Structure 1
Amino acid sequence: MGICSAQANCTVPDNYIVPFDADPDIVLAAFFIGVWSTYIIIAWGYFFNDRISNDCLSDLDRWIRHYSLTLPHHIRQWIFKKEAQKWTGSSTALIKICLMISDQQLVTGTAMLLIGFITHCNIPQYYFEIIADYGWVTNSVYQTSVMVTYPIFQQNPAMRHWRAAWMTCQAGFIFICQILTYHQDWLYLFGTPTRCIWENMSTGYTKGSQMVQLIITLSFQVWSYLFAMGIFYPRYVGWTTYFLRAVRYILRLPTRFHVWLSRRWKRPSRLQGCVLATTYAIFIAAHMMSQIFASSLLEIIRAFAMLLWGFWWITGYRMSDDPSRVEAMQGGENEWSTGQMMPLLMLALPLFTAIELYWDNTTEKPKSEDTVDIPLRTCERSTIDSLLCSTHSLISSPAASLLSTSYTPRIISSWNLDAREVFEPYCHTRGHDTDSLDVEPCRPSLSGSQEAFFQLEYLTIEKLWFRVLLVVVSAMILGGFITGALFGYVI
């Protein structure tokens, strides 16, 4: 690099030892406490905060949150034999606390990456790897936190701008870090200056499998960034929804095919019945994947895997017995110096600020300027409309036009629900005859809604066995992410 004052020594010594000075100022304890605390608050907000906007939730998320939000009520009723009170102040406090602590991770992670790039001339690859991993983990945690803090940005759009700028800088740094760390000579010797990779970029990507992994990782990184920016600026990044629509169309092809066969074969033979069973199984698999991959739960799982990956590999680097680290390091990196103690002591600031925020929002009457008071869609299951208003939902939203706002889950939750029960409230309110299953009188106002597909998809997600299957598959995905994190590959 031209900005470096002297030529770096990138030759490999005969003893494979490149001496470097230990840096005790990279404090792992403060890092792990900060990111894990942020993740715990995000996960708590996902399951127990009733003020999360439906714009960030899918149908699977709503079903999970329906039970998690009522869990404290049942526990309190079981233990204290009394009704649980709804503490809106604690929900507001949690959003503000999550915003504060996630902002700290955003700024800290970006600052660490900036320092790594400024000192790239002399910083060993060992320490640059730790900084890059740290920045990647904080970036993943912050993007997940937007789901909880989204109501504040809805109320105060101006608060988005500086955070979007920092997130853009961080995403750019991480993009470059990914290219560096996928170089075939990366960490060949822990003490080699990072600058040596910059000077040999053209010769370090000769393996095809390595390039494929790099392209996949960068693609997911760009998509994750665009998704987060789409929440901040939906008007300008809304073009990404065209890709989601294409994915939704592909995932709904099994639904269309199964419905078409079901209408064509009114009285199926044994062979036709086997074909219908096969198409139904394919539909179940596609519908299940669409529900999981459109949910914020998947982002929660991915963030957990990222944290586990960061903890596993950063700690592994620090405890490595590789001779290029143990014999080459001059000094100790675990000494309790000012650089070690200061970050730990500074954790007291967000801790006491969080306590004050919680205290102010739960003991005093909320002021209009201090509360997150915006018209959010409720997460109740009292209407089907609440299941269709989400931008994450893969159910066709035009089908909402056939539903009455007074439609209750007492009918929806029945095990075998037919077309009459779905269309009856809409037809009844408009004076149509509903004694038969014919929905043609309702069809003029349902053009393009594809009500049969909507019916099949919605009735499926209402079945208990399908929900159990969703939970099992989500647990398997969590296990897959954890396994990938332990083996060093997460996206």
Structure 2
Amino acid sequence: MFGTQNCTNAPTETNTDAGVAGAGVLLSFIITAGLSLLISVIIVMHEIRRQSEAKVIRKLLLSFSDQQIITGIGIQSVGLAKMETMVPYHFFIIWMLSLLSTATHISTLLALVNDFKRDWVLRWLRQFLMFINLVLSCVSGIFVLMSVMKNMAPTLPIACVWELPSHGSPSNAAISIAGTIAVIAGQCIFFGVGVLYLHIKARRWIRIIQITGLLVLVAIGVGAAIRVILLSQAFGTPSVPLSDTAEKDWSFGQLLPLLLLLLPLVSTIEIIRGEIKVPPPIVDGHMPLDDKQSSFRVSFQPNPFWGSQER
């Protein structure tokens, strides 16, 4: 036995898993990927037109990308840790979410390549996270591929793919197998191109790579999002009988991933205020002379509608 799971008697239905396929979790991945791809396209088009750098929007994109790649690695780790109880339905959703994560951080790499090149710490940290995401996604893809090839019962744990013999192939097996292999190979190719893109110094093909890469990544992101929406219980019709409708229900656990999307926006407001309006901090009791206004600068800024500098 591979583990303690029962691979002989397939139950008639399986339990829901809102932590993986809940409405809030799915929307969080889809919204983050959509915003990141949109911002990446805006930044690349901005640079093609040779306009001034959009520093704030670049930091916003970096925040969304960091959040997406960390949550992507996290949810894949959860799936592999629970493979003795998790059914192929939930495992496939996790794999689709990993594709959204891949599309997000690769598009960010294409848009912010110069930012990563200027700092070796950011560059190698990005490569390390990309590699971890790639390994987890390829392992998850192999499980999905094996479940299709063996035509495994949808209510059996995904870990049973290593124990069960093949039960024949479904009618769409060839398309599913070819598509799964193509996705795994595509992720490896994108990783290799991304690493090369980070280290190459020639800029001859940079615009072609950016535009072509973004078009492909947008297509991947849209395809993965549509697949998740149609397949999940939260928004579509699941491919396996589920014991309840918990994945449709909204709770704080489902609201939390959406609330976390506000953090990059709050950080953006703080960046804007910090770079445009707020003067550097000073030590209480020390009022340095302002060179431009030739007057003492105070440490309290009143609001523009009422109030005074004396509080």
**Which range, TM-score by smaller chain?**
0.7 to 0.9
Matched letter for residue 221 of structure 1: Q
How many angstroms apart in 2 are the aligned matches of 1:302 and 1:10?
A: 42
**CA RMSD of the aligned region, Å?**
3.3
Which position in structure 2 is the counterpart of 1:123? 86
SS at match of 1:329: coil
Flag the structure with higher helix content. 1
| Higher relative contact order (CA closer than 8 Å, sequence separation 6+) | 2
Structure 1 residues 220 and 348: alpha-carbon distance in aligned structure 2, compared to 1, 3 A threshold: closer
How many angstroms apart in 1 are the aligned matches of 2:278 and 2:52?
A: 12
SS at match of 1:295: helix
Kindly state the Cα deviation for residue 117 of structure 1 after the two structures are TM-superposed.
0.5
Is the contact made by 1:125 and 1:186 (CA closer than 8 Å) also made in structure 2?
A: no
Matched letter for residue 136 of structure 2: F
Is the contact made by 2:29 and 2:100 (CA closer than 8 Å) also made in structure 1?
A: no
Identify which of 156, 173, 176 aligns with 1:192.
156
Which position in structure 1 is the counterpart of 2:216? 302
In the TM superposition, what are the counterparts of 1:75-474 in structure 2 within 5 Å?
88=53, 91-183=54-146, 184=148, 189-200=153-164, 212-234=178-200, 294-318=208-232, 319-321=235-237, 324-325=240-241, 328-363=242-277
Q: Deviations over 1:87-116 (max 9, x none)?
A: 54xx12222222221111111111111111
Matched letter for residue 92 of structure 1: K
Q: Deviations over 1:225-249 (max 9, x none)?
A: 11111233449xx9xxxxxxxxxxx
How many angstroms apart in 2 are the aligned matches of 1:201 and 1:313?
A: 28
Structure 1 residues 197 and 297: alpha-carbon distance in aligned structure 2, compared to 1, 3 A threshold: same
SS at match of 2:156: coil
Is the contact made by 1:8 and 1:195 (CA closer than 8 Å) also made in structure 2?
A: no
Q: Deviations over 1:44-96 (max 9, x none)?
A: 11112x3xxxxxxxxxxxxxx24xx5xxxxxxxxxxxxxxxx754xx122222
Is the contact made by 2:85 and 2:157 (CA closer than 8 Å) also made in structure 1?
A: yes
Kindly state the Cα deviation for residue 144 of structure 1 after the two structures are TM-superposed.
1.4
Structure 1 residues 304 and 108: alpha-carbon distance in aligned structure 2, compared to 1, 3 A threshold: same
Which position in structure 2 is the counterpart of 1:409? none
Q: Deviations over 1:386-427 (max 9, x none)?
A: xxxxxxxxxxxxxxxxxxxxxxxxxxxxxxxxxxxxxxxxxx
Kindly state the Cα deviation for residue 347 of structure 1 after the two structures are TM-superposed.
1.9
Q: How many residues align?
A: 269
Matched letter for residue 85 of structure 2: N
Matched letter for residue 108 of structure 1: T
Structure 1 residues 323 and 352: alpha-carbon distance in aligned structure 2, compared to 1, 3 A threshold: closer
How many angstroms apart in 2 are the aligned matches of 1:215 and 1:22?
A: 28
Is the contact made by 1:10 and 1:196 (CA closer than 8 Å) also made in structure 2?
A: no
TM value normalised by structure 2: 0.74
Which position in structure 2 is the counterpart of 1:83? none
Q: Deviations over 1:447-475 (max 9, x none)?
A: xxxxxxxxxxxxxxxxxxxxxxxxxxxxx
Q: Deviations over 1:175-219 (max 9, x none)?
A: 122222223257864432111223348888997776555544433
Q: Which has the larger radius of gyration?
A: 1
Is the contact made by 2:40 and 2:107 (CA closer than 8 Å) also made in structure 1?
A: yes
How many angstroms apart in 2 are the aligned matches of 1:176 and 1:343?
A: 25
Matched letter for residue 17 of structure 2: D
Which position in structure 2 is the counterpart of 1:73? none
Is the contact made by 1:123 and 1:193 (CA closer than 8 Å) also made in structure 2?
A: yes
Structure 1 residues 138 and 323: alpha-carbon distance in aligned structure 2, compared to 1, 3 A threshold: closer
Percent identical: 19
Kindly state the Cα deviation for residue 142 of structure 1 after the two structures are TM-superposed.
0.7
How many angstroms apart in 1 are the aligned matches of 2:265 and 2:223?
A: 25
Unaligned 5+ runs, structure 1: 51-64, 70-85, 239-290, 367-491
How many angstroms apart in 1 are the aligned matches of 2:186 and 2:221?
A: 17
Kindly state the Cα deviation for residue 131 of structure 1 after the two structures are TM-superposed.
0.9
Matched letter for residue 38 of structure 2: I
Structure 1 residues 37 and 204: alpha-carbon distance in aligned structure 2, compared to 1, 3 A threshold: farther
Identify which of 14, 18, 22 aligns with 1:24.
18
Matched letter for residue 71 of structure 2: T
